[in-house]
Amino acid sequence: AAPARSEARPMEAAVPQLNALGLKIADRIRETGPLSVADFMAVCLGDPDLGYYMRRDPLGLSGDFVTAPEVSQMFGELVGLWLIEVWEAAGRPKPFALVELGPGRGTLMRDALRAARVRPEFLAAAKLHLVEISPVLRARQREQLASVGEVPTWHHRLATVPKMPVLVVANEFFDALPIRQFVRAGGEWRERVVGLDTAGRLAFGIGPGGLIEPDVPAVAAGAEEGAILEVSPASTAVMAEIAHRIRENGTAALVIDYGYARTALGDTLQSVRRHAYVDPLADPGEVDLTAHVNFEALARTARSEGAAVFGPMEQGPFLLSLGLVERAGRLGAGRDTALQNEIRAAVERLAGPDEMGTLFKVLAVTAPGLTPPPFGPRT
């Protein structure tokens, strides 16, 4: 049942099932009403004391999820070669800001910079800036990058990175940014909210009517009762900032994430713990919370800021065009069978259609006139 603001429980109601962050959220709901899904996500992931990213390294087999750079060094190496090619196509700007959004353990950047040793001028021109909210992951990044002799500068937001030509990389970053959800109810779009049910547990509900988002895509026109529409103002804001900088100061961005190429209806909010899907409301701050990335919306934002857009292209064809198989061959040459099998499995994992190859998409955003590999004519 949908909780209404009036259903807030008295403070003495026993709610033993809520964890520390759950109690904090419940108090906030009692004080100011249900949260939008976006506010709920933002608190769960970024609460300064209890947020998911604040207290742990969630990556890897012992964590909650595995990302492409953690699957194989080949991923970061190919991204590194992409960066060099784009930097050269842009006329070798010096200096330029090499920016990674949400660098996780710093593995992608470490592998990219190691691969970039083939072009010392690139490394000499690059000023490394990392945008990261997690103190735990910042520490991992510091260690990993020290191993390739780099000392980055950290930022909480892209806005504080100095204005200069920029190359931006974002792998599995946009999926962690909050989304708002709207539910089709009684012939209108109403915000989906997180409130409290009569037992004092967190529960999804339907908020006040009236569509706050003016921009309803065409696909949403014939929506049936109960349909869900997602928008991510946070993602739009970050992409607008990226594209604006590219337009003003030059060069490009590479966005890799899971999501859809065209706006579609549907609930993509998902929660993962130890590599399995769990209830997004069950254990706030203790589980990963993401949503699929709307690449059509990101592309539209980038174009509206005057940048050129390429893709989205599926990750499989992207990596194969950049030379994944050749790289795997060189990496495995003369090594034992076990390692060669491991490399083969990594290629399959990164590029295979049933694995990361089709769900994950790649979007390149560039200054007008610059065509990044491996894209053809501008879309």
DSSP 59: B
CB of 284 to ligand SAH, least distance (A): 16
Q: 135-157: b or e for each residue (b if 16 or more CB lie within 10 Å)?
A: eebeebbeebbeebebebebbee
Q: Rounded to an integer, what is the distance from CA 156 to the centroid of its chain?
A: 15
Nearest residue (CB) to ligand SAH, 48 versus 376: 48
Q: Do 375 and 364 form a contact (C-beta atoms < 8 A)?
A: yes
Nearest residue (CB) to ligand SAH, 21 versus 137: 137
CB of 58 to ligand SAH, least distance (A): 7
CB of 114 to ligand SAH, least distance (A): 16
Six token digits for residue 99: 């920016």
CB of 301 to ligand SAH, least distance (A): 17
d(CA 59, CA 222): 40
Q: Which residues bind ligand SAH (CB under 6 A)?
A: 45, 53, 59, 67, 69-70, 102-104, 108, 131-134, 137, 171-173, 176
Nearest residue (CB) to ligand SAH, 60 versus 373: 60
Q: Which residue is nearest to ligand SAH (CB)?
A: 102
Nearest residue (CB) to ligand SAH, 25 versus 220: 25
CB of 16 to ligand SAH, least distance (A): 30
CB of 316 to ligand SAH, least distance (A): 17
Nearest residue (CB) to ligand SAH, 67 versus 236: 67
d(CA 10, CA 12): 6
Q: Do 308 and 368 form a contact (C-beta atoms < 8 A)?
A: yes
Q: Exposed, middle or buried by CB within 10 Å (0-12, 13-18, 19+), for 31?
A: exposed
Nearest residue (CB) to ligand SAH, 67 versus 315: 67
Q: How many residues does the chain have?
A: 379
